[in-house]
Structure 1
Amino acid sequence: MEQPQTDRPPRRPTRPGLTVGRVFGVPLHLNGSMLLLALLVTVTYAEFARRQLDLSQLGAYLIGVGFVVSLLGSVLLHELGHALTARRYGIGVRGITLELLGGYTEMDRDAPSPRVDLLVSLAGPAVSAVLGAAAVAATLALPDGTLTNQLAFQLAVSNVIVALFNLLPGLPLDGGRALRAAVWALTRDRHTGTEVAGWVGRAVAVGTAAVTLVLTVNRLLAPLALPLMLLVAVTLWRGAGQSIRLARISRRFPLIDLRRLARPVLAVPTGTPLAEAQRRRAEGDRPDAALAVTDGAGRPVALVDPVAADAVPPARRPWIAVDAVARALAGLPVLPAGLDGERVMEAVRTHPGAQYVVTAGEDVVGVLHIADLAQLLEPKRKMNT
């Protein structure tokens, strides 16, 4: 299953899981949830193989493990279809992650045009369709009732289902990205395309849950598959909602003006008691100003960490120097004041943090707090400050 991996709001990146190597130069990660999927598929397929082929318990489970490996290989090839097509059009690929509900390809930027977006989105289902067709041909060529025939048949079914399901026209599925590309081409607005495809994705999620329940009630779906399919529906709903949210955030990128958004700097000499520095700020024009620590020559060398400062008990603040709760400017990410919104967001994603030093040439002109940026991008969302 595909997940949106671009247009993300500022946040600390999560670890993708265990890195197991590279495929065509693309880092490959395995999420811990893959263990649950591997166990579920192994047990289900082993019991099926034992009944159909009259195998021993050990033989059936060995076959189940083999099927899991083949299935993971199919998912990997699906994602490589996205990754290699993206690279063909100059889009960097950060990695491929295999997880409980399939996998996703993380790209370092969005497609530059609707055409490229369409080609990248359809590349994965195209690979799955080719694999499914090859497995169908193998199923027809192999003798009925044999182990190889059953493996080929199951791979054919799984790849065809993956291809067809991913073509459903709603984000975060591949078909949703294709729908986004189509709406983008018609409206010339990528954000509108994302929002439309996100709402359709929510409809797909509801439909998936409804079909799953109907099949289960009519005993056409194994009870063991019910929780997994409902998890798929929930994941689709959440992914679609995330896409809608990110489309609305991205629309506000042009509003990012670092000179207006950054908080001013109030300089205090090194050794100044924390209580005195906070008193000067409270009596100034901007009580939200950032406290900068200057050296003997008056040059800013550090920035007071507001979290660390707030953690100091008020009774101790007259006896604690600002230096004790400050971070060296050299260790903080820097944003030139002239960056546009897109570049600011890319810098924030690349160097996540709580504060950013805003500069004009060699001068520090302000400090951007990530909470202020988040509030600008989502003014109706309640923020923790």
Structure 2
Amino acid sequence: MTPPRPAAPRAATGPVRSIDPVEEQKGRPRPRPGGRTTLTVGRVFGVPLHLNGSMLLLAALVTVIYAEFARHQLNLPQISGYLIGLGFVVSLLGSVLLHELGHALTARRYGIGVRGITLELLGGYTEMDRDAPTPRVDLLVSLAGPAVSAVLGAVAVAVTLALPDRTVANQLAFQLAVSNVIVALFNILPGLPLDGGRALRAAVWALTRDRHRGTEVAGWVGRIVAVGTALLVAALTAARLLAPLALPLMLLVAFTLWRGAGQSIRVARVSRRFPLIDLSRLARPVLTVPTGTPLAEAQRRRAAGAAPGAALLVADSAGRPVSLVDPAVAETVPVERRPWLAVDAVARSLADLPALPVGLDGERVMEAVQAHPDAQYVVTAGEDVVGILHIADLAQLLEPQRKMNT
């Protein structure tokens, strides 16, 4: 744990932007994972639907591949082949959307809010506002998507058998049947980030009563699945059972599985340390200096005080803190200029900084930080500023073995 820090001086605050993580969750979605750009296209059953830019690549690739396949199978003109290919892409996206709606609607059935569904290059994902409360709910939510795909696959198989052979409708139904059956079977493989991995996590969670252990176990199994997928793809390509054009896409699938499994393992390890977050200890103390104080003088006072690592607050003429010296900006000022530059020139207004109540528990601190990414946070007790939380300090606490850029 982080060692105790000296008690911070208390002073009346100016206008700071306080965070209530519960209220923030109701009105503001988290950033898309990895910062990926998405386009919101509407709502389905009240769930926001987003399209990732990679969908354009998927649509073009599948349209071309399937157009050529349909043209040769059905002896169609080129334009007809592309129209059929585009129709298949639309049907495939519809299948993926229904798969994700299976997750989303099941989650809502058990009181879990759904932030949105995103369709991307390798399928899609459903973003929820919190984890499942019990292993049983986690299991049901995770298996709802593959169940929908299995039903769609079964319906498409029945339609394929009912339609005349070697017709456009028959070929479309056949491809949809194959796609949905493969999606259902692949997704139930027991490794994160696949749905089957979430089911495995729920099972380990139920047995050990430790969600984090379940996530870590399912993450390591996910890495095994990723390696197995890559080896299988290589073997099928060598045996000429897989088209060479599909090889890069399938290897991308394996790489995505490996990366997603690694992220799951990391999340499990970090989440296990959430109870160690104590803002009263983690926040750096503050030292208040009057507006207009030279930067060199403010730094001298801090070095001479009881807490040389204290954050510098700038107070107005009435003694109210109104801004916070940005240490990164202050360090860029040449030493010879610091006696002539006021602290105000390298400070950020407290109104622009998110504030965290000192009594927040670790999980709610992380919710607030995810909703409002920033380098520094004002830690408050009532209307008093009691410290400044640096995101680097929080990251160091959660991942002590990882090298941080400070």
TM-score (norm 1): 0.96
Moved more, 42-51 or 16-25: 16-25
Check the 8 A contact 1:16/1:29 in 2, yes or no: no
- Residue 316 of structure 1 aligns with which residue? 337
> In the alignment, residue 362 of structure 2 is paired with which amino acid?
G
Q: 1:322 and 1:139 mapped to 2: Cα distance?
A: 74
- Residue 137 of structure 1 aligns with which residue? 158
Moved more, 302-311 or 47-56: 302-311
1:211 and 2:232 are equivalent in the alignment: yes
Q: Secondary structure at the match of 1:224?
A: helix
Match of 1:179 among 197, 200, 203: 200
Match of 1:60 among 81, 92, 96: 81
1:74 and 2:95 are equivalent in the alignment: yes
- Residue 6 of structure 1 aligns with which residue? none
Q: 2:33 and 2:239 mapped to 1: Cα distance?
A: 45
Cα distance, 1:90 vs structure 2 = 1.1
Check the 8 A contact 2:377/2:388 in 1, yes or no: yes
> In the alignment, residue 312 of structure 1 is paired with which amino acid?
V
Assess, with a 3 A threshold, how the Cα gap between structure 1 residues 374 and 330 changes in structure 2: closer, same or farther: same
Q: 1:316 and 1:10 mapped to 2: Cα distance?
A: 39
1:286 and 2:307 are equivalent in the alignment: yes
Moved more, 371-380 or 26-35: 26-35
> In the alignment, residue 65 of structure 2 is paired with which amino acid?
T
For residues 45-91 of structure 1, the C-alpha deviation after alignment (integer angstroms, 9 at most, x for no partner) is: 00100100000011101100000010011001111111111111111
Q: 1:380 and 1:11 mapped to 2: Cα distance?
A: 26
For residues 135-157 of structure 1, the C-alpha deviation after alignment (integer angstroms, 9 at most, x for no partner) is: 00100110111110000000000
- Residue 4 of structure 1 aligns with which residue? none
- Residue 356 of structure 2 aligns with which residue? 335
Q: Tell me the C-alpha RMSD between the 2 structures.
A: 1.5
- Residue 257 of structure 1 aligns with which residue? 278
> In the alignment, residue 33 of structure 1 is paired with which amino acid?
S
Assess, with a 3 A threshold, how the Cα gap between structure 1 residues 10 and 115 changes in structure 2: closer, same or farther: same
Match of 2:116 among 95, 108, 121: 95
- Residue 148 of structure 2 aligns with which residue? 127
1:111 and 2:128 are equivalent in the alignment: no
Q: Secondary structure at the match of 2:116?
A: strand
Unaligned runs of 5+ in 1: 1-8
Q: 2:222 and 2:361 mapped to 1: Cα distance?
A: 31
Cα distance, 1:315 vs structure 2 = 2.5
Assess, with a 3 A threshold, how the Cα gap between structure 1 residues 214 and 12 changes in structure 2: closer, same or farther: closer
Q: Secondary structure at the match of 1:216?
A: helix
> In the alignment, residue 318 of structure 1 is paired with which amino acid?
P
Q: 1:382 and 1:230 mapped to 2: Cα distance?
A: 30
> In the alignment, residue 370 of structure 1 is paired with which amino acid?
I
Identity of aligned residues (%): 84
Structure with bigger RCO (C-alpha 8 Å, 6+ apart) = 2
Check the 8 A contact 1:337/1:358 in 2, yes or no: yes
Match of 2:64 among 43, 64, 69: 43
> In the alignment, residue 227 of structure 1 is paired with which amino acid?
P
Question: Which ranges of 4 or more aligned residues in structure 1 deviate by more than 4 Å?
Answer: 9-13
Q: Report matched runs for 1:149-188 at 5 Å.
A: 149-188=170-209
Unaligned runs of 5+ in 2: 1-29
Q: 1:320 and 1:12 mapped to 2: Cα distance?
A: 41
Cα distance, 1:311 vs structure 2 = 2.5
Q: Secondary structure at the match of 2:244?
A: coil
Check the 8 A contact 2:358/2:379 in 1, yes or no: yes
Cα distance, 1:11 vs structure 2 = 11
Cα distance, 1:330 vs structure 2 = 2.0
Q: Secondary structure at the match of 1:78?
A: helix
Assess, with a 3 A threshold, how the Cα gap between structure 1 residues 171 and 378 changes in structure 2: closer, same or farther: same
Q: 1:292 and 1:316 mapped to 2: Cα distance?
A: 20
Cα distance, 1:95 vs structure 2 = 1.0
